Amino acid sequence: MSDTLKRWGPYTNMKQLADAGPKMIARADGIYVYDNRGRQYIDGHGGLWLANVGYGRREIIDAIAQQAEALAWFPSFGGFANEPSLRLADKLVELLAPDGMAHVMFSNDGSEAVETALKIARQYWKIKGRANKHKFITRRFAYHGVTMGALSVQGVTENRMEFEPLLPGVVHVSAPYPHHCSMHPDSPICTLACARAVEEAILTQGAETVAAVIAEPIQAAGGVIIPPPDYLRQVREICRRYDVLFIADEVVTGFGRLGSWFGARHYGIQPDLMTMAKGITSGYVPLGATAVSDAVFEAFYDMAVSGPEFRHGNTYSGHPIAAAAALANIAILEREALPDHARAMGPVLQSALKNVQTRHPQWVVDANAEGLLGRLELRDPGGRLASGQIGAKIAQYMYDLGVIVRPIGDVVTFSPPLTIAEPEIQHMVAAAEEALGMVEAEVH
Ligand code: PMP
């Protein structure tokens, strides 16, 4: 077996890796990454939805180095703390005030941020004397992470089924998926039946058994599923009506991706809990965070007055180096107004993608973007390519053309660094169109 197989790659077909060899990335700068032969690529997927400020930022690198020298590590269990993690909590609470978040607990990644949120939601209702409220409602195609709790609320069936049985009491409802509406597949008119499906699920389960609804403002890893504008507001309102907590999973949509600081704000809602990771450090160091409203925190505070603490915490919660990286990252997002830049670039990405659709109406099922999160959904009009093959082929051709994107089935997804400029967006989408031409030529 080849040496490359010693490392078991994440979400990686090891047979294909053994055959093709790994694509080695050696360095990165701005929106570009370079392979070990020095070849340049636009990072059109932002290093898995997250390189928001771009690569090689000197002030983040310096902040990491300085913090490593001063205090690389000390735990925060049981009353200890370090300055950068307290400053980061202050900063996040300031940023999240419009979203109704007032307290934050740190972890290491998106899955842990989601685990934390699920456990807070469960115990919150126990503290309130309503222990039967333990179920979670989630959507088809949802991606919330890989640990057993976060996996349980995933709606990507293929990711879940080999690991069943998972957490009991998880109910899946339809995704708000334009062009794939499972509620009214034959009607062009959206009635937001998918939002009412959440209410239906609460009523069917009994509101007294439901702890929370968890939702990504845009379902990213499910295929950049951009909901109808009023969907989240309606779901949020339904949660309020039935005393069900609303968890916004902002692991991808946080920190400017959609052209607002957070997806909840983008869609005009205030959640009860919010999960973050990825763009919180733009990937310089792993970090996750779970924010909660005052009302949720106070329940736990009151419990602690007379009894135990929240018995949960990752060893590296509040890691000083990660906190220092996040503070420097957020300073750049603020100073360069990158959420505003993403908002300004959103229509550029959207119209570039829609132009591809106009020129290839037979092949492009849907083209859309919200901020700097975009999708190009394809199908082979002649039915020669099986489902999933076009996306993989386009991504490979684009890679050959010097642009890295992430295919999800036959959806080519775009999530570049928020620093990307208009000509680079045009270049990235032109590569997608050229790749599509190559696929068309191939099947003819
Ligand atoms: N939530 C969402 C919305 C995600 O997209 C992801 C990862 N793509 C996660 C949670 C899990 O994050 P991680 O891979 O950092 O555990």
List the domain boundaries for the chain: 3-53+337-443, 60-335
| CA angle centred on 359, ends 355 and 364, rounded to 5° | 85
Q: What per-residue confidence (pLDDT) applies to 188?
A: 80
- Judge whether residue 14 has pLDDT over 90: yes
pLDDT bucket at 1, cuts 50 / 70 / 90: low
Global pTM reads 0.98
Q: Is the CB of 143 under 6 A from ligand 1?
A: yes
Name the residue among 317, 315, 307, 314 with its Cα closest to residue 126: 307
d(C-alpha 25, C-alpha 30), whole Å: 14
Determine the average pLDDT of the residues in 214-243: 98
- Computed on alpha carbons and rounded to an integer, the radius of gyration of the chain in Å comes to 22
Which letter does DSSP use for residue 259 in this model? Answer: S
Ligand 1 atom with the shortest distance to the CA of 112: 16
Q: Express each pLDDT in 339-395 by its tens digit.
A: 999 999 999 999 999 999 999 999 999 999 999 999 999 999 999 999 899 999 999
Backbone angles phi, psi at 168, to 5 degrees: -70, 160
- Has the ipTM of the complex gone over 0.90? yes
Q: Is the CB of 144 under 6 A from ligand 1?
A: yes
Ligand 1 atom with the shortest distance to the CA of 253: 3
Q: Are 171 and 179 in contact (CB under 8 A)?
A: no
Q: Are 422 and 348 in contact (CB under 8 A)?
A: yes
Q: Is the CB of 424 under 6 A from ligand 1?
A: no
Determine the average pLDDT of the residues in 282-306: 96
Q: Are 282 and 52 in contact (CB under 8 A)?
A: yes
Same fold, 3-53+337-443 and 60-335: no
Q: Are 330 and 186 in contact (CB under 8 A)?
A: no
Q: Which CATH architecture has domain 60-335?
A: 3-Layer(aba) Sandwich (3.40)
Q: Is the CB of 249 under 6 A from ligand 1?
A: yes
Which residue reads 């209410």 in tokens? 199
Ligand 1 atom with the shortest distance to the CA of 219: 3
Q: Indicate the range of 36-45, 95-104, 185-194, 325-334 predicted with least confidence.
A: 185-194
- Record the tokens describing residue 300, joined without a space: 């736990």
| Ligand 1 probe mutation, 136, 144, 218, 290, most atoms within 8 A of CB | 144
Following DSSP, what letter does each residue of 280-338 receive, concatenated?
A: GTTTSS--EEEEE-HHHHHHHHHHHHHS-------TTTT-HHHHHHHHHHHHHHHHTTH
Q: Express each pLDDT in 26-70 by its tens digit.
A: 999 999 999 999 999 999 999 999 999 999 999 999 999 999 999
Going by CA atoms, what residue is nearest to atom 8 of ligand 1?
Answer: 221
- Judge whether residue 437 has pLDDT over 90: yes
Q: Are 394 and 432 in contact (CB under 8 A)?
A: yes
Q: What per-residue confidence (pLDDT) applies to 185?
A: 83
| Ligand 1 probe mutation, 52, 111, 247, 314, most atoms within 8 A of CB | 111
Centroid of ligand 1 to alpha carbon of 309 (angstroms): 27
Q: What per-residue confidence (pLDDT) applies to 186?
A: 81
Q: Is the CB of 277 under 6 A from ligand 1?
A: yes
Q: Which CATH architecture has domain 3-53+337-443?
A: Alpha-Beta Complex (3.90)
Q: What per-residue confidence (pLDDT) applies to 184?
A: 85
Which residues, 6 or more positions from 65, have their beta carbon under 8 angstroms from its beta carbon?
Answer: none
